[in-house]
Amino acid sequence: MGAGATILGLAGPRLTRAEREFFAAADPWAFILFARNLEDPDQIRWLTTELRESVGREAPIFIDQEGGRVARLRPPVWRDWLPALEQVKLNPRKAVDTMRLRYRIIAHELRALGIDGNCAPVVDLVQPDTHEILKNRCYGNDVVRVSDIAGAVAEGLVMGGVLPVIKHIPGHGRATADSHLELPVVTTKEKALRVSDFLAFQSVAGLPLAMTAHVVYRDIDPENPATTSSRMIGIIRETIGFDGLLMTDDLSMKALTGSFAERTEASLGAGCDIVLHCNGDMAEMAPIVEAAGRLTGRAAERAEEALTWRREPVDVDIGALDAEFRDLMTHRSG
């Protein structure tokens, strides 16, 4: 039987006895870390080791390290980065190269800590009214350009031994609300979405993992956000062509309603493979774990296929990559 159909967080920088026992029983497929879990390199390396020991295998450990606003690892220990949209605009002709370098360097920092998954690239297309929670995390609004940059981001991560997670499929850029706090509703017609937002994801659909958007696309399914919509997940699988491991965005976000068991059942019932819960609250995680059960069938196969992308980093001179990145950002071209 496969691991649990869950990706779980923990409360603090050290694994408590209760958490260790809980994870041993729940056997989540992977873990995710946040700023509350991170103090210094030695502590993080010990924590990632303990998490894997709790489930008795080399479970993936994810983080949101986009750089810019969404960066769980920050100076002075780790590098600081501009928001992605700002970096792209500073040197647009070299954006693909600079973003590939950026994420290769980020991957190097993550692997040194025992972290081997990063929730990036962000493939959402920015719009004039994109909510501020997302806006400067995007790479632009041109489908081809965003697709090229997203591919480069994924390449940088994979070369550094880190699993990429594309988000937020099938597209969060048209949302004018923050899904952490409420349910966004997109009113754009399906025909327009197919040649814009959905199209951007098609070029990276061969990547191993993706995270859903807690967004209602009214023209397609007026009742349910993509995470719990079989119609929307049908579009993700068939129109976009993504056949990798599909994880939910965080089940504790207020865009979703119902009990945590109901959220879990609705997500998996709609076609997600695995559910994500981030805040480390065991009282919330317990019913999720029970409702999620184990990875079986095609979901288990996708999970195994995703792990085949995890490899030893390509040997590089990080100092030289840093210098190359700085040179590209200094000698800008329009």
Active site residues: 180, 249
Task: Answer for the pair 160, 111: CB distance below 8 angstroms, yes or no.
Answer: yes
Nearest of 136, 2, 128, 117 to residue 51 by alpha carbon: 117
Helix (H) or strand (E) holding 100: helix 95-111
What would the two tokens of residue 167 be? 């988000």
* Number of residues written out for the chain: 334
CA torsion 217-219-221-224 (nearest 10°) is 40
Number of H helices, E strands in the chain: 12, 13
What would the two tokens of residue 53 be? 């020991």
Task: Answer for the pair 209, 123: CB distance below 8 angstroms, yes or no.
Answer: no
Sequence-distant (≥ 6) Cβ neighbours of residue 97 within 8 angstroms: 152, 328
Q: Give the end-to-end CA distance of the chain in Å, rounded to a whole number.
A: 54
What would the two tokens of residue 267 be? 């997500």
C-alpha to C-alpha distance for 200 and 150, rounded to whole angstroms? 9
C-alpha to C-alpha distance for 234 and 237, rounded to whole angstroms? 5
β-pair type (70-71, 65-67):
antiparallel
